[in-house]
Amino acid sequence: MLPTPLVLALALATAGDDPIPPVVHSVSDISQTFTFYMDGRFHRQYLDGVGRDARNWGSLEHLDLENVNLLILTAGDAHIPYTEAALDHVEDYVRDGGTALIMADGQDPMPPGAALTAHFGATLTTSSVTPPLETTPAARRLIDRDHEWVFRRGTVLELSRKWTVHLRDEGDRPVFAARDLGKGHVLLGSRGLFGSRPDASDPINAEAWTPLLVHYATSKRIDPDLPHNSTWAEHERELGGLILEFHDGTERYADAVAAEYKTVHPHLVAITGVEPSEGMIKRLLILPTGGGGFSSGQRIAIGAWWGNYPERRYPMVELIGHEAGHSWVLPHAEPLWNEPIATYLGIQVGLRLDMDEAQQTLDKQIARGRALDPDFTTIDPLSPDAPRDLIWGKSYFVFEELERLHGPGALAKYFRTKRELLPKGGRNNYTMDDCVAVWSTAVGEDLFPWFASLAFDVDESRTSLWPR
Ligand SMILES: [Zn+2]
């Protein structure tokens, strides 16, 4: 995964210099299931300029909703059911005036969100929505009747009479609806009505959602001067220099994942010949997802049930190796192969643990690269249109060849030399020319011609690191 500075998310949530005071204080819940989209992109797409968003990383039932008027929830993940206490907490918040938006679809078996919607008298189904969608007369004071709905995919709803349908599909079945409860509101609709891209580039239906969300949420007044902060996972445990972070729902994974990290760490030291860069990997967050992880250098976050962990172990070892590997590479991110080298480190750990899947993963990716460039001498992996499989396959091939030609421990020589040659404080850009210079120094041989023979556009005159 790309390194995502967590500090950014937290800084956004506490920014105090908005030009216009926000009228919406939203909380995007990522405690039931983490996605990069819910970690700030929903806000960028639908509430930018009108609302301030905070994220909930901690157990939902403990969330402080005092100065919040929009709580954004998803269908969740079967590994972490919504607890009864969480359902009651959401209900109390709504009765007290808050608005809850639930974006959810049914499937077989039903996601935890089905219990959440059932709590409010709505049933998720497995029947697919049939576009086009039509705004109902009841919703036309809130939504322009001519709005053309963009819809990805999802399922229709079955609703008690407490609900007002805002949006129907071609079969006259509810796709989005709202209900009052106490002083507040519950909004429920298919996930396919909203964006989902982690780069926030798909703000579908924003012309409809922004005014509608503002309308409902602002029936509860928030005070923009009072706290509205992100809530962090509430548990932490000190593990010999590492702080393990988790919440109630991820607790049953925490110790096992931390033990995997403790297994992986010495192998990474052996492979790279160095400890993680200064100040790196102080915290390990157990992330409520099977979808991967991220690294901000100082903190690595690992998806609790990645690759069907704990049933399967290799994917978890590779992921931890990858995310931790970023902390060995920083503060000078690698050119071109910053992601491939991280996974390569994970693969090397797997090999050292005698895991067959490690060799298979390596071979498969090199084969995919060879399918595009049979002897790896034709396609420049630095060219803007180089295919992903070529970049990854050629990167692995280069690391393997460097080890074969300049090993044993070629990668360790490289990492040690990089630490010696580059200033500690970081550098704006570490280019492939710089990288080849470091490799050349590490192995005591000018490798520019060798890289050039593999179609890399590298040039020693473009780096100050070579010749030594
Ligand atoms: Zn990564």
pLDDT digits (tens, 9 = 90+) for 222-248: 999 998 999 999 999 998 888 999 999
457 alpha carbon – ligand 1 mean position (Å) = 24
> Is there a single domain that holds both residue 244 and residue 183?
no
Distance from residue 6's CA to the centre of ligand 1 (Å):
14
Query: What are φ and ψ of residue 101, in 5° steps?
Result: -105, 125
**CA 326 to ligand 1 center in whole angstroms:** 7
Distance of CA 318 to the CA centre of its chain: 17
8 Cα–ligand 1 center, Å: 17
- pLDDT bucket at 278, cuts 50 / 70 / 90: confident
Q: Are residue 245 and residue 289 in the same domain, yes or no?
A: yes
Question: Would residue 229 count as lying in a domain?
Answer: no
Q: Specify the CATH number for the domain of residue 107.
A: 3.40.50.880
Residue 1 domain-assigned? no
Residue 6 pLDDT exceeds 50: no
Ligand 1: distance of its center to the CA of 344 in Å?
11
Instruction: Say if residue 31 is in the same domain as residue 161.
Output: yes
Q: Are residues 246 and 189 in the same domain?
A: no
Tell how far the Cα of 296 is from the centroid of ligand 1, in angstroms.
10
Q: What DSSP character marks residue 110?
A: P
Q: How far is the CA of 428 from the centre of ligand 1 (A)?
A: 19
54: helix, strand or coil: strand
- Please tell me what DSSP assigns to residue 120: T
In percent, how much of the chain has pLDDT > 70? Answer: 95
pLDDT for position 124: 98
Distance 388 CA to ligand 1 centre (A): 14
Last residue of a domain, one of 217, 251, 275: 217
In this structure, the answer to whether residues 286 and 159 fall within a common structural domain is: no
Residue 31 lies in a domain: yes
Ion ligand 1 — residues with CB < 5 Å: 1, 339, 342
For residue 105, being part of any structural domain is answered with yes
Considering its fold, how many domains does the chain have in total?
2
Which pLDDT belongs to residue 381?
98
Write the CATH number for 416. 1.10.390.10
Domain identity same for 248 and 290:
yes
Ligand 1 centroid, distance to 295 Cα (angstroms): 7
Evaluate the omega torsion of the peptide bond into residue 331 and state whether it is cis, within 30 degrees of 0.
yes
192 shares its domain with 339: no
- Between the CA of 342 and the centroid of ligand 1 the distance, in Å, is 6
- Reported as a pLDDT band with limits 50, 70 and 90, residue 122 is very high
Tell me how far apart the alpha carbons of residues 346 and 332 are, in angstroms, rounded to a whole number: 19
Assigned domain for 228 exists:
no
138, 166 Cβ separation under 8 angstroms? yes
Question: Of 191, 217, 243, which residue sits at a domain end?
Answer: 217
Residue 226 lies in a domain: no
Residue 126: the pLDDT is 98
Whether 253 and 165 map to the same domain: the answer is no
Cα-to-centroid distance, 339 and ligand 1 (Å): 5
Question: What domain range includes position 366?
Answer: 235-462
Q: Is there a domain that residue 380 lies in?
A: yes
Using CA atoms, how far apart are residues 146 and 208, in angstroms rounded to an integer? 10
Q: Are residues 390 and 311 in the same domain?
A: yes
Residue 223 lies in a domain: no
Residues 159 and 68 in one domain: yes
Taking 70 as the threshold, does the pLDDT of residue 3 lie above it? Answer: no
Counting residues of the chain whose pLDDT is more than 90, the rounded percentage is 88
| 283-287 β-sheet, strand order | 235-238, 243-246, 283-287, 299-303, 293-295
What pLDDT does 5 receive?
A: 40
In this structure, the answer to whether residues 40 and 136 fall within a common structural domain is yes
Distances (CA, A) of 278 to 242, 271, 282, 298: 14, 18, 10, 9
The pLDDT assigned to 426 comes to 58
Average pLDDT over residues 304-333: 95
Clarify whether residues 62 and 191 are in a common domain.
yes
Domain limit, last residue, from 217, 244, 273 = 217
Instruction: Tell me which H or E stretch contains 315.
Output: helix 314-329
pLDDT digits (tens, 9 = 90+) for 15-39: 445 467 899 999 999 999 999 999 9
450 CA → ligand 1 middle, Å: 27
Closest CA to 449 of 464, 438, 441, 460: 460
